[in-house]
Structure 1
Amino acid sequence: MNVKVDIDKQIDKTIVSVAGEIDAYTAPKLREALTPLTNESKPNIIVNLKNVSYMDSTGLGVFVGLLKAVRSEGGQLKLVELTDRLERLFSITGLSDIIDISTKSEGGVQ
């Protein structure tokens, strides 16, 4: 399966909607789409994962890298609308302690 990434740049935030599976095959495409967003000063990135059906450790690595890049620019990263399965994955790995995660929608996120 592929991963689909839609980016909606707004005045005060960038909303990224991801759909599909995030694995060793699709993670490079996701990283390629997300990396330019971190080149701004103080990026505010919200990633909606409600349509992600599967994620492996490669996908987790993409989000850890994104978090580091965003923080190095003084910005914020938030993951929203995680499925129970993804929420459990982030929790088990301890990433839910360092990444801002919400199972609910963020204002303006569809």
Structure 2
Amino acid sequence: MKVEQFQVMQEETREQYILHVIGELDLSVVPQLRAALEPVMNKADKALVLNLKQLKYIDSTGIGIIVSVLKLRDELKAPFFVKEVPSPIKRLFDLTGISRYLTEGTEAEA
């Protein structure tokens, strides 16, 4: 079984900070995701978008990071979106109940 290397690719547009989360998001790589998020998660001038298209797996620690970012962005009254959530990950979000708090953007919106 091949283990996917975790990566976070960053992109910035006039209106958004976009982080492409790639591979498997678990306890061992949370510091890497946190390091990518820290420079932009407190900036309310643009929307923060997590593109999850290439996310293969997420554990409870990864979900916890997303919830933390969601709460912070809500306090800042700053937009936060998830985009291109794979079906198995979306199902997990539905089962854990966080789907109702996440705004899923389309290509045009997010």
Instruction: Give yes or no for TM over 0.5.
Output: yes
Where do 5+ consecutive residues of structure 1 fail to align?
none
For 1:4-83, what aligned pairs fall within 5 Å after superposition? 4-83=7-86
Shift of 1:42: 4.3
Deviation at 1:101, TM superposition (A): 2.4
Is 1:90 aligned to 2:93, yes or no?
yes
CA drift at 1:46: 1.2
**What's the secondary structure of 1:25's corresponding residue?**
helix
Q: Which amino acid aligns with 1:16?
A: L
Moved over 2 A (4+): none
Q: What fraction of aligned residue pairs are identical, expressed as a percent?
A: 31
Offset of 1:108 from its aligned partner? Answer: 8.5
Hey, what's the Cα distance between the residues in 2 that align with 1:26 and 1:89? 19
Letter in 2 for 1:96: S
Tell me the distance in 2 between the aligned counterparts of 1:2 and 1:28: 14
Structure 1 residues 33, 73: closer, same or farther in 2, change over 3 A? same
Instruction: Give me the whole-angstrom Cα distance separating, in 1, the residues matched to 2:97 and 2:42.
Output: 27
Structure 2 stretches lacking a partner, 5+ long: none
Per-residue Cα deviation, 1:35-86 (whole angstroms, up to 9, x for no partner): 2212213441111101011101011011001111211221011111111100
Question: Which structure: greater strand fraction?
Answer: 1
Does residue 107 of structure 2 align to residue 106 of structure 1?
yes
For normalisation by structure 2, the TM-score amounts to 0.87
Instruction: State how far apart, in whole Å, the 2-side matches of 1:36 and 1:28 are.
Output: 13
Q: What's the TM-score once normalised by structure 1's chain length? A: 0.87
